[in-house]
Amino acid sequence: MQISVIIPTYWTSVRQEIRCLKQDAVYDHPTPIEEQGTLSRLLNSLKKTDMPKKSTIITVITAVTHRALEKKAEEKVKRILNSYESDFNVKQFSASTLKKIEIEEKSLSKLLSLYGYSNVRNLGLATAQILNSDIIVFLDDDVIVNDREYFRKATEFIGKRIEKQLVGGIAGYYVNKDGNYYLDVDRKAWWRTGWPKEEKMNLAFKVIESKRRLVETTFAFGGNMVLHRKMFEKIP
């Protein structure tokens, strides 16, 4: 059973000459390239889990808010990943990777992009397909995996049939520092009237706090999500 762990990492800059440029993509909490970021923290937490290292490939997808940052972000992530080469089979998918595909596979390159959340997620699906993986585990770079049995639990039901239905995807939740997983809702922010993300996430939490291991839900958290190839191969 081949597992692909896909970790999107998003970068921006606090430099004025960059910030005054038009953004090529908007992300809700990109890391300033001048800072260390949280990617190392996640990778350190994965070292303490039951990850089956011989059958798992970690792919870090490096995305930026401005094209001018592509090279610096790639170099920064490369330096971070170099520290973990003895711990994992870890690779980076960056702008230079995409350029190679554009040269070698022009027809495929038209379908791929590193700009926008949906495009980055689709790149994760494509990467897992190329690697012939059976399972994708999506993790955000700002989370910590603190359950040592995370991979056993994440893959226990995936790809199987429960009550004659295929379990093609599984999503978990995030726990805050205070041990709670409900989010504070700021009703004063005007822009939240059209994008009540926290409210929708809290509704999903009410569904998944059932004592049952598997509960049907229409909401999935992309930073803690597992997909089986029986499902992601059939997505149009």
Q: Which residues contact 196 (CB under 8 A, 6 or more apart)?
A: 185
Are 40 and 77 a contacting pair, CB within 8 Å? no
Maximum distance among all Cα pairs of the chain, rounded to whole angstroms: 57
Q: What global pTM score does this model have?
A: 0.87
pLDDT of residue 42: 98
pLDDT of residue 208: 63
Residue 56: beta bridge partners? 3
Q: Give one word for 15, left, alpha or beta, with left for phi > 0 and alpha for psi -120 to 50.
A: beta
Regions of the chain with pLDDT less than 50 = none
Cα–Cα dist 170/172, whole Å: 7
What number of H helices and E strands is found in the chain? 9, 9
Cα–Cα dist 142/166, whole Å: 30
pLDDT of residue 188: 57
pLDDT of residue 102: 78
C-alpha pair distances (Å), 172 with each of 30, 121, 169, 210, 216: 22, 17, 10, 12, 12
CB count within 10 Å of CB 202 equals 15
Are 36 and 42 a contacting pair, CB within 8 Å? no
Domain ranges of the chain: 1-144, 156-219
